[in-house]
Structure 1
Amino acid sequence: MGETLFLGHRVPFPPDRGDKIRSHHLLKVLAQRGAVHVGTFGESAADMAQKPALAELARTHALVRRSKPLPLAGLEALWQRRPVSLSAFDNAAMHRYVAKTLGNHPIDTIFVFSGQMGQYVPPNFVGRVIVDLCDVDSAKFDAYADAGNRRWLNRREARLLALEEERLAARADTTLLISEAEAQLFASRLRHPGSARLRALGNGIDAGFFDPAHVSAQSDLEEGDGPQIVFTGQMDYAPNIAAALWMIDEIMPRLRRAHARARFHVVGRSPSRGLREKHGDHGARIWGEVPDVRPFLQSADIVVAPLLIARGVQNKVLEAMAMARPVVLTPGAATGIGAEDGNHFAIAPADPEAIVARIDALVADPSMAETMGAAARRFVVEHMGWEAVADQLGAVLDQPRDACDAA
């Protein structure tokens, strides 16, 4: 394998949120196999402070501050008839870095992480192109529109993103999706599915890091009387916001009829204003960013993932399972994990009474909850390690290009 140009929409250090965790581990696999060059974006001072980590791993790198305001990206997108998602990540400095890197180094593979970065692959590049879409963004925007959120804008974004996704799939030697279900969904949305070479590449989990044997409790949760219910994630992400608000407004009032002191802990950085205003309602506590999420998982009686809109594999679910916690989740949040309902976690339809029933059953039977948590950790350790994902990516990289063309 020659040298690789890795293009990622967010700097993959530190691996502290879902997309950065995945890109971090995939980038490490590429770096272990040969010289790698990295073009990526930062959005904060903490992101821009990751240059030493990039320099240690990459032969060359460009960490570009993404500062284009969303309204400006929206106006550009309307004028250029492009998705806002692409305009937001269109940057002259990144185009220059890509051109310079391809001109100065023997790049034989461009690895594109997330569809926003496909715009940087030159039409005349003759090497291998691997695109990791992770999940189907166009379907996510369709789901937003179906839910009544900014219908015209989201429907437009879904339509234009679908065209870009199809272009990338036709351009790529291999297009990666995060699960077989997501790959099937993507294929079903393509006008010419025969031109796409799709492959599922799941997420992994660092079960050594998320190990309850090495994590202290969170004292605030340990002191509470009622069941302590925890939801983790990036809390400025629309599906997480919607899930947390639904939990607070619709599920917690019902749960507190039987468990008057039940508490719901929302743990994750950048909670939206709407979420912050719910602090104290129906036993909700909005924590915001915390130094380490593991103590909250360790001390939770139940972890929930009540996602109404979900794409791909949910890292938050894998982390809770690795911490041997019983997880109650909606079907969308369980997609792509392959665990067994009633054994490794508890799936409930997106109905408040159904979710309350699953939570109540686990609270009423601590031994069942403990058994489920233990089974969840065993499942993650045996089936969801990053080592297995690395082997699968290696198989993609080792596949001859003529075999890809014939697929």
Structure 2
Amino acid sequence: MHRIPYPPNKGDKIRSYHLLKHLAKRYHVHLGTFVDDPDDWQHVERVKDLCGESHFAALNPRTAKLRSLGALAGNRALSIDYYRDTTLDEWVDGVTRRHGIQRVLVFSSAMAQYAMSLRSARRVIDFVDIDSDKWRQYADNKRWPMSWLYAREARRLLHYEQQVTQEFDASLFVSQPEADLFKRLAPAVQDKVGYFSNGVDTDYFAPGHQFDNPYADDHDVMTFTGAMDYWPNIDAVQWFANDIFPSIRQAHPAAHFYIVGARPTAAVTALAELPGVHVTGTVPDVRPYLAHAKLTVAPLRIARGIQNKVLEAMAMAKPVVVSPQALEGIDALPGRELLLAGDAQSFAETTIRQLTMPDRTIGSHAREKVVSRYGWASNLSRVDALLEPTAPATPTMLPAFS
């Protein structure tokens, strides 16, 4: 089972798709999943080709949020009710009876509810990030009453994550720091906790491709890429556009900041009113925007796990200026393979320096790091080992993610 995170995150969709492709090479996979973005329906047939039986449940975010409020009357995390669906529950029950499922892989905490009763199967969960800690960070950055609501969600969801890890055979996270943090939060289950890193398709994200330039010739561009209805991304671009970019543009008038990503909120769209700031909305291919940028920025102040946006830019041999939060979990050396900046002033100074006196070795070193460290095949081999305990067995059926 795999769920698109609440709120949605493009990086997790990439991780889940590569995980599905990997498993389909070895197992007969049955897939139950939600579709929360109308644009994603165009990919359904391609995903079905990788599966035996499949079930795609439409998820209306507005309806799901209303449904999740019922959890306030009980002792449940809102995220669990948000992803509760009778048709998906019935599909899991039916496919289990028809195929005698022996292995189950769940993607993300809220989807574990669909596998809690499958105790005869070997169950592995890929939490990806510690969702409960993400809610804690939200609480720390919001005012009451949202701070109270998010803090409640953090407590309830952590309890649920601990319960799931106790019941399942193994759990995975996106990086060693993420796994280590969860071990500290849930010491009673730390022997069941591991990780595998995200990867990058380094043939697809490669500097050798030729793309038309989407920018004006006199623009020295820095980009931010990501889903622009995702609050950590919204916070990042607001901080950069309001508190960092004006200093950059004053020192380097040709500088332009492009926010590239689907579903920009009204708050993000409003940033385009600032001098030199551009909001593209959905683009058919993000690579031209990376290829023709001078550099990319990842000024995240709230983050969990590994940022795919950083790895993709590094794979394109682009210098990336990151915050400490965006660097977390990425095995890269600041000053050699990317640039690190901790506050608004250092972010501006680092960016100005790279624009005016570019270190042309950083991009090539970044590309080398991604190629050597972040291949999908080698990272996903950890999942194979967990699904196959001790003695080799003939692969049977595997219901995978929703």
Q: Give, as a single letter, the amino acid of the residue that structure 2 aligns with 1:333.
A: A
**Distance in 2 of aligned mates of 1:81 and 1:340:** 44
Match of 1:389 in 2: 379
CA displacement at 1:71 relative to structure 2? 4.1
TM-aligned CA distance change 1:172 to 1:303, over 3 Å: same
For 1:389, the aligned partner's letter is N
Counterparts of 1:163-178 in structure 2 under 5 Å?
Answer: 163-178=159-174
Match of 2:203 in 1: 208
Structure 1 equivalent of residue 121 of structure 2 = 127
The one of 302, 305, 317 equivalent to 1:309 is 302
Structure 1: distance between partners of 2:214 and 2:93: 53
Q: Which moved more, 1:119-128 or 1:318-327?
A: 119-128
Query: Is 1:398 matched up with 2:388?
Result: yes
CA 1:356–1:142: 2 relative to 1, 3 Å: same
- In 2, Cα distance between equivalents of 1:193 and 1:269: 38
Describe the superposition over 1:146-183 as per-residue Cα deviations: whole angstroms up to 9, x where unpaired. 11252011001101100110011111111000011000
1:38-79 deviation per Cα after TM superposition (whole angstroms, max 9, x unaligned)? 000112433334332233111101011113614422321212
Greater shift, 42-51 or 177-186, is seen at 42-51
1:217 Cα shift? 4.0
Identity value in percent: 35
Question: What is the deviation of 1:125?
Answer: 2.2
CA distance in 1, matches of 2:337, 2:54: 41
Query: Would you say 1:144 and 2:134 are equivalent positions?
Result: no
SS of the residue corresponding to residue 228 of structure 2 reads coil
Name the CA distance, whole Å, in 1 between partners of 2:381 and 2:36. Answer: 31
TM-score (norm 2): 0.92
Q: TM-score scaled to structure 1, two decimals?
A: 0.91
Paired letter, 1:362: Q
Mean Cα deviation higher: 239-248 or 383-392: 383-392
Question: How many angstroms does 1:388 deviate by?
Answer: 1.3
Partner of 2:103: 109
Q: CA deviation at 1:401?
A: 8.5
Structure 2 CA distance for aligned equivalents of residues 251 and 401 of structure 1: 56
Q: How many residues end up aligned between the 2 structures?
A: 386
Structure 1 CA distance, aligned partners of 2:200 and 2:101? Answer: 30
Q: How far apart, CA to CA, are the structure 1 residues paired with 2:293 and 2:188?
A: 47
Equivalent AA in structure 1 for residue 320 of structure 2: V
Instruction: Name the structure 2 match of 1:157.
Output: 153
1:80 alignment counterpart = 74
| Distance in 1, Cα, partners of 2:293 & 2:118 | 53
- CA-CA distance at 1:362 after TM superposition: 1.2
Aligned-pair Cα RMSD in Å: 1.8
Counterpart of 2:344 (choices 340, 352, 364) is 352
Structure 1 unaligned residues grouped into runs of 5+: 1-6, 403-407
Q: 2:91 aligns with which of 86, 97, 101?
A: 97
| Contact 1:217/1:298 (8 A) holds in 2 | no
Q: Please give the secondary structure, in 1, of the residue aligned with 2:76.
A: coil
With over 3 angstroms needed to count, the CA separation of the structure-2 counterparts of 1:71 and 1:26, relative to structure 1, is closer
Conserved 8 A contact 2:68-2:80: no
